[in-house]
Structures are given as structure tokens and as C-alpha cells.
Structure 1
């Protein structure tokens, strides 16, 4: 993904753009990798910072950018994050359905194509959780469409099952809307991250490990095959 944009402000090693294609991270998803190309060369994107309520891009070197730049997202890294995030939605949906609306207590996606998700499941049978792997991969094989819509925040709270995290709610837009991700026929929940256009774009998934983390939490670790 590439986008041409204008520099709004610049400091050594930091820049703020009029528009950018990068996902800055959040909700357990890592921030995008990529580069910025401008008249003086190219520089890698190292991260993102919120300064005075404005999002700045942190650069690998202390250069100061001016004028117009070309922002390029690392496509392989973004694809891995999209796959993991979409597959976690599939797993979340299956657990929510099979374990009486169990809520998520934590998520983390990793650059090595693995992820973990924690559920509030005080009495869960770990063998039942492991047995969900074929259903995850069946949803991938079905190539279900993944769509996004927006709802007013109050409506999102009123719709049962739309907010699945025990402690985190995706931030609303400036006009008070919440982004909803829907996997056709399987899942519908609020989320702010990046996802696939359809489930079939994911590699198969393996459930790597299940840990008991305290009295209530079950931590499920998954990985992309291949």
C-alpha cells in the first residue's frame, strides 16, 4: 500500500503527515512497518507517537522531511497482521458461541506469525478449546467475506455481543461512531484493526498451546501454518 502525502510538521526523527496509510498499532496488533520516500531519499518508519493529541511518525534516523512524501507500507508484515487479526476474530466467535459468551481479557499479535488471546473462562475444558482448530480452518476454507460498517456508540453498547473485550472498547470516530467488523454468517464485533477482505486469504491456523493464567484466564496461542 502506497500513498502520497504532504508534510504538515517535522522535527528531527519525527514527521506528521496530512494523510498516512500506516496502522499505528493498538488492540494487541503491532504497528505497521514501512518507509517514507522524499526528495532527500528514503527512511524507515520506526514507530508512532501521540504528541499534543496529534499522531506523529517516528523515523529510524533524525532527518527532517519537507514537502511531499511517498508512504509505503510493508506488504508482507501487514498481510501477517491481517491474517492473525482475522483468525483471532474467528476463534473469538467460536469461543463466544461455545462457551456462553466468554469475553476477551487480552490479545497480542506477533511478528513471527503467532498470536495469543486470553478469555475469561474459569471452568473451561482445555480439550474443548483445542478441538476448535478444525472449525477455525473450516471458516478459512469457506472464504467468508469480511466487511466493515459503523454504528453510533450507544447502539454498539445496546447490541449484545458486539463488544467482546472485558476492558477495552475501540475508540470512536470524531463523530461518535464505532467500527464494526463482520465475518459473513459467523461473527460481528467492534474492532479498530486491519483485517482480510475474506477469510480464505489466510493461511491455515494451528492451536499451539493453551495455558491456565490465573483462576479465570485461559490463554490460547495460535500460529499461521507454513
Structure 2
């Protein structure tokens, strides 16, 4: 089953009947909630029903649908509403988009350097780790210039699917040194494309164009071992943008 949020990224609330229940969890046929992964934090979301509301602690997909777990042992039945926190989703979309921009620039400027780690943070920063032995730290500290230039170009962002084996054979579509994007049950993988700049396998959520992101600055460059270089990036203005659409 393909994740609902991939085909309907703008739908952050939906009503659905409970298909199955157990203490502390309900099974729904679909869910707008991003579960986390690839360095992106899971959505903050809540579940509403006739007798109250609970925060969703985790989601897990199976053949029948998606389990939504919450604290406590309440057994919920009937029709429920799942609602994703739009501000937090928007922040994750923004961070993940800028991370792809930074990744693409490093990949091109440093001879196809691969990711060794990535983490988006709720404080509006993110870090990328690269396999870059002997890299010039000053060049890495200057990356905010080309990143902000791409943001200013307002390049459209989209996604498509292709056969996993075909994608794995294309240099640059899989960027992690240690792991590959997951293969869907239909044998495909999702590719996120920034028009004219970058394509890479990714299951996360993104803005619809680079121009919706805020300008950034390089906060820190660290050596993490003999080969790893860690780049920490944050927004120039920590206030959320007035235009909050993804």
C-alpha cells in the first residue's frame, strides 16, 4: 500500500471508520500521518472521536491499513478524525527540501560525495554528514551562498516513481553510503525531483518549490572521524514564514 501522504501531501485531516481496535491503538484504511524516517521526524498528530482526543504516538502500516498508537488503553470505535499539526509538517517539509538542495550541491561540488547520516530537528536546524576525507572546511562553510541562490530561483519540486532496480543503476539517485530508499511492494521507489537541479530517492515530505523556504546559514562544520564531515544548517530568520503552504 502506497503511503497516503505521498499522493495527497496537502491533506492533513481526514475522517475514517475504525477497521480494528486494540487497547491503545486503532487500525484505519489510510492515514495522512508521516511516520518518520530518512532523518525526518514523524508528524505531530491527534486522533479525535466522539468521546475525546488523543495524541498519536506512532503509526505502523500493514496489509489492511495503518495502525495509530496512542498512550493509554482506551478502545476507540466508530468514525474518527486524524489531524496532522500543519505548522510542524510545514517545518519538516522546509528542512527536508533545503537538505536536498544542500545534498545536491555537495554531491556536485565534491565529486559525488555520499551521505553518511542526516537528521532534521524540531528547533529548525538540520545536519548532514558526508564521506568527505580531506575536504576543505572553508568550502563547506561557504555553502550557504549556493544554497540560498537555489532557494531564490524558486525551482518547482515534484515526485515520481520508477522501478527500484532501474533507479539503483542510475548514479546519483541513491545518495546514502549505508542505506538505500525502501523498495515498495510493487517494486518501485519514489524519486523527488527539484527541477533542473536534482533527483534522488526519498520517502519524505517536501515543499512544492524551493522559493517557499527561508534563506539559511551554515552554523557549524565538524570533523566526525577521519572521513566524515558534519554540516549543521539553520534558517537566517527563525520565525515561520507568513506563507505557510508546503
TM-score bracket relative to the smaller structure:
over 0.9
| Alignment-derived partner of residue 182 in structure 1 | 193
| Alignment-derived partner of residue 202 in structure 2 | 191
Q: Distance in 1 between matches of 2:64 and 2:179?
A: 20
Aligned: 1:206 with 2:189: no
How many angstroms does 1:52 deviate by?
9.6
| Alignment-derived partner of residue 162 in structure 2 | 151
Contact 1:140 1:204 in 2 (8 A): yes
Q: Deviations over 1:15-70 (max 9, x none)?
A: 22111000000111111001111121211112235789975222134322112111
| Alignment-derived partner of residue 75 in structure 2 | 64
| Alignment-derived partner of residue 130 in structure 1 | 141
Choose the corresponding residue for 2:16, options 5, 15, 26. 5
Contact 1:148 1:179 in 2 (8 A): yes
Aligned: 1:171 with 2:179: no
Task: Please list every run of 5 or more consecutive structure 1 residues that lacks an aligned counterpart in the other structure.
Answer: none
Q: Distance in 2 between matches of 1:185 and 1:50?
A: 34
Choose the corresponding residue for 2:49, options 15, 38, 49. 38
Q: Distance in 2 between matches of 1:156 and 1:25?
A: 23
How many angstroms does 1:149 deviate by?
0.5
TM-score computed with the length of structure 2 as normaliser: 0.88
> Is the strand fraction higher in 1 or 2?
1
Q: Residues 49, 178 of structure 1: CA spacing in aligned structure 2 closer, same or farther, 3 A cutoff? A: closer
Q: Distance in 1 between matches of 2:119 and 2:51?
A: 36
Q: Residues 50, 147 of structure 1: CA spacing in aligned structure 2 closer, same or farther, 3 A cutoff? A: closer
| Alignment-derived partner of residue 161 in structure 1 | 172
1:69-80 → structure 2 map (5 Å cutoff): 69-80=80-91
- Size of the aligned set, in residue pairs, is 226
TM-score computed with the length of structure 1 as normaliser: 0.95
